[in-house]
Amino acid sequence: MTPLIWLVIAPLLGALAVLVVPARRMPAVALGAAAATLGAALALAAQVAGLGPRTVLLGGWTPPLGIVLKADGLGTAFAVMAALVMSGVALAARHELAPDKAGARAAYGFWPLMLLVWAALNTVFVSRDLFNLYVGLELLSLAAVALVALAGSREALAAAMRYLLFALTGSLLYLAGVVLTYSAHGTLDMAMLLARVPATGDGVALGLMTAGLMAKTALFPFHVWLPPAHAAAPAPASAMLSALVPKASLVILLRVWFEAMPDAAGDAALLVMAGLGAVAVIWGGVQALVQRKIKLVIAYSTVAQLGYFIIAFPLTGGDSAVKPWSAGAWTGMVFLALSHGLAKSAMFLVAGIWYSACGAQELRDLKGLARALPMSAFAFALAAVTLAGLPPSGGFTGKYLMMQAAFVAGLWPFALVMVAGGLLAAAYLYRPLAALFAKDEAISCAPVSRVRQAVPLALAAAAIILGVLSAEPFSFIKIGKPDAAVEGL
């Protein structure tokens, strides 16, 4: 069987397998499934890089009857990023969610839910059928809500409930759009939708799907559920909730707009969406600046970063021969999303180490912590470089491409917003960094093994490497890139 199939099946089988083995064997089985999925993602990436996009017709049925799975540069790049983050999360969770630390309930529930999240993510990354994407998205939301509720505290349950209400409303809106699309065109396959005869209801269908996906991605103004939910979960769960889960609905948003219905996009709608993104960048940044708890700072930073992705929508296109950089907004956004995933997961894992080893939850508890745990403080600083968009990180490459596109497209206010967002990020990340490296008494921390500290460091370093070696991923993302990403919406 091909790596493309294993990418989806391995975590799914793993999620079932961890439920039937004795509790003490769960981490080992889950790590085995993680290794298999990571291997499948890397093998798929090698295939896509060498041979171009890979396609599997499920059961040998062609669309519109069957469902097609297709791995292009975009989906594969996200699958590899998810595999790296998930492997790091699994290694961290072996310590953080040991039964004697997190309690038997959380220790038991985490492993199958983590693998289910992973299976759903990979399904979304390679699906091209609107209904298959709906099922993948629902599996993802249900597993993610359960992860938020894992801690079982009053706050965690309230956050999970709020998240569930937003997620359910979002999926109903998306489903309504899917139903409209099917009744107008009789197909849900994206390639066939691209070749459809436009119908009058297309704009409504696209609008409904977009609203639903925005609620699931926590794009402003649907972001209110995100910070409490991400802050309430155990740290390894927060890492994947913040770094990966919003990316799934973002990828669907990208595919619906660029691959299924690029012709239905209107300038006004694009500007409204990008305007919401701009508000999200500023609002998330300001909120992150005033938080006292470290996990809430990181979570509000996600609200801000998600805004950048949606800003890119109207910036794509332009005459690429005359203005070669104008085609860069789509690629820049993907770059930004990939490096955000790596950096954000590193930050949450580091916050988890600080909480479990030193009891540090608030920013003021971090004073002098760099002396006690230098490796984790360095990992946090590296991740901060990426989130603030400083060179040579992947975050810089992505923002640079998007700002170029903003000037070329004549939408320079968005470039200003991106600069302001970068400054805000530097400001809200300066607060934890200043506390970490303050010359206070070194606070006492329980010993933390080097491996456990090395995991977030490796993830944060990967986000930097993405910027240093940007030529290779740059051409990889472009494999199978939709025409609309080059020509603009």
For the CB of residue 433, give the shortest distance to another protein in the complex, in Å.
32
Among 1, 51, 59, 154, binds another protein (CB under 8 A): 154
- On the 0-12 / 13-18 / 19+ scale of CB atoms within 10 A, 65 is exposed
For the CB of residue 54, give the shortest distance to another protein in the complex, in Å.
25
Query: Could you tell me which of 346, 347, 343 has the C-alpha nearest to residue 294?
Result: 347
Q: Sketch the per residue contact string, 122 through 141, with another protein: x for CB under 8 A, - otherwise.
A: ---------x--xx--x--x
Among 39, 47, 98, 182, binds another protein (CB under 8 A): 182
Query: Could you tell me which of 244, 280, 41 has the C-alpha nearest to residue 144?
Result: 244
If one asks whether residue 439 binds another protein (CB under 8 A), the answer comes out as no
Stretch that binds another protein, among 47-55, 158-166, 239-247, 463-471 (CB under 8 A): 158-166
| 220-239 positions binding another protein, by CB under 8 A | none
Stretch that binds another protein, among 19-27, 102-110, 170-178, 359-367 (CB under 8 A): 170-178
For the CB of residue 169, give the shortest distance to another protein in the complex, in Å.
6
C-beta of 157 vs 279, nearer to another protein: 157
Give how far Cα 424 sits from Cα of 38, 91, 387, Å: 35, 32, 10
- How is residue 483 written in tokens? 């025409």
What's the CA gap between 263 and 266, in Å, rounded? 8
Query: Could you tell me which of 373, 347, 346 has the C-alpha nearest to residue 359?
Result: 373
For the CB of residue 195, give the shortest distance to another protein in the complex, in Å.
18
Q: What is the sign, positive or negative, of the torsion defined by CA atoms of 70, 78, 233, 16?
A: positive
- On the 0-12 / 13-18 / 19+ scale of CB atoms within 10 A, 111 is buried
| 183-212 positions binding another protein, by CB under 8 A | 183, 186
If one asks whether residue 19 binds another protein (CB under 8 A), the answer comes out as no
Q: Sketch the per residue contact string, 78 through 117, with another protein: x for CB under 8 A, - otherwise.
A: ----------------------------------------
For the CB of residue 205, give the shortest distance to another protein in the complex, in Å.
12
Among 37, 171, 287, 470, binds another protein (CB under 8 A): 171
What's the CA gap between 247 and 335, in Å, rounded? 12
Among 43, 49, 161, 289, binds another protein (CB under 8 A): 161
Would you give the distance in Å from CA 377 to the centre of its chain?
A: 23
Would you give the distance in Å from CA 119 to the centre of its chain?
A: 14
The site for another protein, by CB under 8 A, has a size of 30
For the CB of residue 99, give the shortest distance to another protein in the complex, in Å.
20
Q: What is the CA radius of gyration of the chain?
A: 21
- How is residue 435 written in tokens? 């506390």
Place of tokens 């693998």: 115
What's the CA gap between 307 and 416, in Å, rounded? 14
What's the CA gap between 403 and 400, in Å, rounded? 5
For the CB of residue 303, give the shortest distance to another protein in the complex, in Å.
18
Q: What is the sign, positive or negative, of the torsion defined by CA atoms of 388, 392, 398, 402?
A: positive
If one asks whether residue 168 binds another protein (CB under 8 A), the answer comes out as yes
| 57-76 positions binding another protein, by CB under 8 A | 64-65
For the CB of residue 78, give the shortest distance to another protein in the complex, in Å.
23
Q: Count of residues for the chain?
A: 489
For the CB of residue 121, give the shortest distance to another protein in the complex, in Å.
17
For the CB of residue 176, give the shortest distance to another protein in the complex, in Å.
6
C-beta of 15 vs 347, nearer to another protein: 15
Q: Where are the beta strands (DSSP E) in 353-489?
A: none
Which residues contact residue 11 at a Cβ distance below 8 angstroms, ignoring those fewer than 6 apart? Answer: 33, 34, 37, 115, 116, 118, 119, 122
C-beta of 46 vs 104, nearer to another protein: 104
Stretch that binds another protein, among 4-12, 114-122, 147-155, 449-457 (CB under 8 A): 147-155
Asked if residue 353 lies in contact with residue 453, where contact means CB atoms within 8 angstroms, the answer is yes
H/E segment holding residue 56: strand 54-57
Among 152, 266, 324, 374, binds another protein (CB under 8 A): 152
For the CB of residue 188, give the shortest distance to another protein in the complex, in Å.
8
What's the CA gap between 265 and 251, in Å, rounded? 17
Question: Residues in the site for another protein, rule: CB under 8 A?
Answer: 64-65, 131, 134-135, 138, 141-142, 145-146, 149, 152, 154, 157-158, 160-162, 164-165, 168-169, 171-172, 175-176, 179, 182-183, 186
